[in-house]
Chain A
Amino acid sequence: MNLNPSGWRPEAGDAAAAAEADTYTGNRALMLEEPLIFEIGDTETTGVDFDAGEAASSSRLGGLERTAPIGLAGLTEPEAVRHYTRLSRQNYAIDLGLFPLGSCTMKHNPRLNEKVARMPGFADIHPLQPVDTVQGALAVIQELAEWLIALTGMHAVAMTPKAGAHGELCGILCIKAALDARGDDRNVILVPESAHGTNPATAAFAGFRIENIPANADGRVDLDALKARLGPDIAGVMITNPNTCGLFERDMKAISDAVHAAGGYVYCDGANFNAIVGKVRPGDLGVDAMHINLHKTFSTPHGGGGPGAGPVVLSAALAPFAPLPFVARQEDGRLKLIEEENAGEEHPQTFGRMAAFNGQMGMFTRALAYILSHGADGLRQVAEDAVLNANYVLRRLEGVLDAPFGKSGPCMHEALFSDKGFAEGFSTLDVAKALIDEGFHPMTMYFPLVVHGAMLVEPTETESKAALDQFIGAVASIAARAKAGDESLKAAPVHAPRRRLDETQAARKPVLTWKPPAAA
Chain B
Amino acid sequence: MRYLPLSEADRRKMFAAVGAATIDDLFVDVPAEARLPGAIPGLPNHAGELAVERHMAALARQNSVAGDVPFFLGAGAYRHHIPASVDHLIQRGEFLTSYTPYQPEIAQGTLQALFEFQTQVAMLYGCEIANASMYDGSTACWEAIAMARRITRRPKAILSEGLHPHYVSTARTMARFTGDRLVTALPSLSPETDFARLLDAIDEETSAVVVQYPDILGRIADLSELAERAHEKRALLIAVVTEPVALGAIRSPGEMGADIVVGEGQSLGVGLNFGGPYVGLFACREKFVRQMPGRVCGETVDAAGKRGFVLTLSTREQHIRREKATSNICTNAGLCALAFSVHLTLLGEKGLRQLAAVNHARAAATAERLTRIPGVSLVNESFFNEFTLRLPKEARPVVREMAEAGVLGGVSLGRLYPEAAALANGLVVAATETVSDEDIEAFAKALEGVLA
Contacts and interface: CB of A to CB of B under 8 A. Distances in A.
A432 interface: yes
B203 interface: no
Interface in A90-129: 90-96, 99, 101, 104, 106-110, 112, 114-116, 118-129
Contacts of A44: 348-350
B159 interface: no
B335 A303 contact: yes
A92 B357 contact: no
A87 B246 CA distance: 29
B113 A373 contact: no
B173 interface: yes
Contacts of A162: 135-136, 139, 276-277
Contact of B97 (A93, A151, A355, A394): A93
A60 B60 contact: no
Given A43-B350, A378-B45, A384-B23, A110 B95 contact: no
B335 A62 contact: no
A475 interface: no
Interface stretch (A77-85, A418-426, A479-487): A77-85
Interface stretch (B228-236, B336-344, B438-446): B336-344
A462 B295 CA distance: 29
Given A7-B306, A308-B331, A303 B95 contact: yes
B65 interface: yes
A3 to B, nearest CB: 16
Interface in A474-520: 491, 493, 496-503, 505-507, 510-514
A279 B4 contact: no
A473 to B, nearest CB: 14
A264 B286 CA distance: 43
A214 to B, nearest CB: 16
A375 B289 CA distance: 47
A36 interface: yes
Nearest to A133: B64
Interface stretch (B33-41, B194-202, B369-377): B33-41
A471 interface: no
B332 A500 contact: no
Nearest to B406: A133
Interface string A432-444: 1100100001100
A24 interface: no
Contacts of B220: 61-62, 64
Contacts of B88: 81
Looking at B33, B47, B115, B349, which has the most chain A CB atoms within 10 Å of its CB? B349
Contact of A36 (B112, B357, B408, B416): B112
A201 interface: yes
B120 to A, nearest CB: 6
Contacts of A441: 99, 103, 106
Contacts of B349: 43-44, 69-74
Interface string B303-332: 111111110111101111111110111111
A341 interface: yes
A205 B178 contact: yes
Given A357-B166, A376-B45, A410-B28, A75 B272 contact: no
Looking at B4, B23, B308, B384, which has the most chain A CB atoms within 10 Å of its CB? B4
B275 A201 contact: no
B307 A9 contact: yes
Nearest to A247: B29
B100 interface: yes
A128 B346 contact: no
Given A8-B306, A62-B220, A126-B73, A358 B94 contact: no
Given A356-B137, A395-B17, A198 B177 contact: no
B350 A356 contact: no
A48 B356 CA distance: 13
Nearest to B410: A128
B347 A501 contact: no
Nearest to A163: B331
Contacts of B1: 374, 378, 381
Interface residues of A, number: 213
A497 B109 CA distance: 10
Nearest to A61: B250
Nearest to B19: A395
A267 to B, nearest CB: 13
Nearest to B168: A353
Nearest to A449: B322
Looking at A71, A147, A205, A447, which has the most chain B CB atoms within 10 Å of its CB? A205
A101 B34 CA distance: 28
B105 A500 contact: yes
A34 interface: yes
B34 A375 contact: no
A461 B14 CA distance: 13
B330 A385 contact: no
B146 to A, nearest CB: 8
Contacts of A75: 345-346, 348
Interface string A369-401: 100111111101110110111011011100000
A307 interface: yes
Interface in A283-309: 284-285, 293, 295, 299, 301-309
Interface string B237-274: 00000000001111110010000000010000001111
B29 A248 contact: yes
Interface stretch (A134-142, A225-233, A311-319): A134-142
Contacts of B17: 392, 395-396
A303 B93 CA distance: 9
Interface in B4-36: 4-6, 10-11, 13-15, 17-20, 23, 25-31, 33-36
A206 B173 CA distance: 11
A137 B312 CA distance: 39
Contacts of A347: none
B66 A72 contact: no
Contacts of B252: 66, 70
Interface stretch (B51-59, B181-189, B204-212): B51-59
A43 B217 CA distance: 31
B45 A375 contact: yes
Given A73-B348, A136-B58, 7 more contacts: A46-B347, A70-B352, A248-B29, A353-B169, A360-B276, A372-B55, A499-B302
20 contacts: A8-B307, A12-B305, A36-B112, A73-B348, A74-B347, A85-B89, A121-B57, A201-B328, A284-B34, A305-B333, A309-B276, A340-B169, A359-B276, A368-B56, A378-B1, A388-B11, A394-B18, A410-B29, A501-B310, A503-B312
Interchain residue pairs A-B with the least CB separation, the first 8: A74-B348, A121-B60, A357-B275, A303-B335, A136-B62, A127-B275, A95-B93, A62-B382
